[in-house]
Amino acid sequence: MKPKISPLIMILMIFVVIMAGIALKLIIDKTKSDSANNGKTKVAEILPQLDLSTNTDEKYQKTIVITINATTEDEAGIDSIIFPDGSINRSNHATYEVKQNGTYTFKAKGKNGQMASASIEVGNLQEASATEPYMPTGFSHVEGEVENGYVIQDSFGNQFVWVPVKSGKMTRNTMLDKDYDESNNTASALVNSVAQNYGFYIARYEASLYEKEGEKTASSIANASPWTNITYSEAAEVANKASSVFGYDGYQTAIMNSYAWDTTLEWLDSCFENYSTNTSYGNYSGNIQNTGVTESDRKNNICDLAGNVREWTTEIYKVKPATTNSSSKNKKKNTTNEQTVAETVTYRVVRGGGANLSRTASSHTGYKENMTDYYWGFRMILYQ
């Protein structure tokens, strides 16, 4: 006969089983809770990752574009990218343009609230300097150095020479002379450009006529016939539009002005004794030569600045109205007519000498801007 289990023991055993079940459930629930909490903690600690790169490794660029990519293992994703200047981009991808060398630090913020940062060093941007010429669109360096004539050329054969201006301040010898004025907008633009870039480009050659796709424009090409018998207004127009015809994006061509002429002469005088004030350099033979042919007038790779053809500039010569020699009967009427003509026609300054006139490179002569002459031409400048 099997022994009987007392009711009390049965109750105790049932109680123990129930308590064990409760304890086991508590342990399982705690384990699940701890596991869930651990998972949340790990998610909250996930940091964003930043990848930084630049668009080029080439030297002497004017701007650099930094590309920023932010990633995270957190499924919630990236909230934003914070730029070095403090501005915020609400995405996981962005670009940032810089114009100065230095260290640039970016931050990424995840939607979990975590932040991370990364830095990139930019050192290949061109610093503005008289000894570091900028390179216009479509050009390449073909000859010389800054100290003796840094020559650049485009795909059409146009050549320009860098004129360094270490101080950033251009020279104008008639600045205090009330008989002269320089108010052309391209002259002002050049002065501002040089203040920032410490130099500009002067056409290596006197302007010659170039026809591109049926459009006539000015060029600066070797061994070409100088473009003469042209009024100032016509010369200024074709010089101004040359940059668009040839596709110099971001750069401007123009006819020479008094600042460009005198600053160039100051530079040449520092290299060649009395270049601007004597007639031993230019072509004064009576016959106009092709551009760049005259050996004696090729200084710092700039050709024919002293002679060959005289050159229009934007500078204004403020002449007084001429007096009349007519009889007293018609004197009042004629004087009025002459004054009207004199006041409406602008006189522009022609610089240098020509094949038919032995004058120095620094000479100034004022002529009506609607005049032409076989021995008068012009020259361009190129600036940023």
Q: Are residues 218 and 366 in the same domain?
A: yes
Higher pLDDT, 64 or 380: 380
Please state the domain count of the chain: 2
Host domain of residue 78 = 49-122
Helix axes 258-271, 185-197, angle to 10 degrees: 40
* Residues counted in the chain: 384
Is the model's pLDDT at 21 over the cut of 80? no
Q: Is the pLDDT of residue 59 over 80?
A: no
* Residue 352 token pair: 């240098």
In a domain, 333, yes or no: yes
Q: 362: domain CATH number?
A: 3.90.1580
* pLDDT level of residue 189 (50, 70, 90 thresholds): very high
CA distance 257 to 239: 12
Q: How far is CA 100 from the centre of its chain?
A: 14
Per mean pLDDT, which range of 6-15, 32-41, 57-66 is the poorest?
A: 32-41
Tell me which of 200 and 30 has the higher pLDDT: 200
- Residues near 236 by Cβ (< 8 Å), separated by ≥ 6? 254, 255, 312, 314
Q: Which residue has the higher pLDDT, 328 or 16?
A: 16
Domain boundary pick from 64, 96, 122: 122
Residue 128, domain member (yes or no): no
| Residue 39 belongs to a domain | no
**Does 252 share its domain with 282?**
yes
Q: Do residues 114 and 145 share a domain?
A: no
Q: Would the pTM of this model clear 0.75, i.e. be above it?
A: no
Examine the domain organization and report whether 195 and 90 are in the same domain: no
Same domain, 280 and 152: yes
Helical residues (DSSP H) of the chain, grouped into ranges: 7-44, 185-197, 232-246, 258-271, 331-344
Q: Is 372 a member of any domain?
A: yes
**pLDDT for 344-371, tens place per residue?**
889 999 999 999 999 999 999 999 999 9
Q: Are residues 111 and 240 in the same domain?
A: no
Predicted confidence band of residue 327 (pLDDT cuts 50, 70, 90): very low
pLDDT band at 126 (very low <50, low <70, confident <90, very high): confident
Mean pLDDT value across residues 177-198: 96
User: Which two three-digit tokens encode residue 198?
Assistant: 């410490």
Which residue, among 180, 56, 178, 44, has the nearest Cα to 113 in the 3D structure? Answer: 44
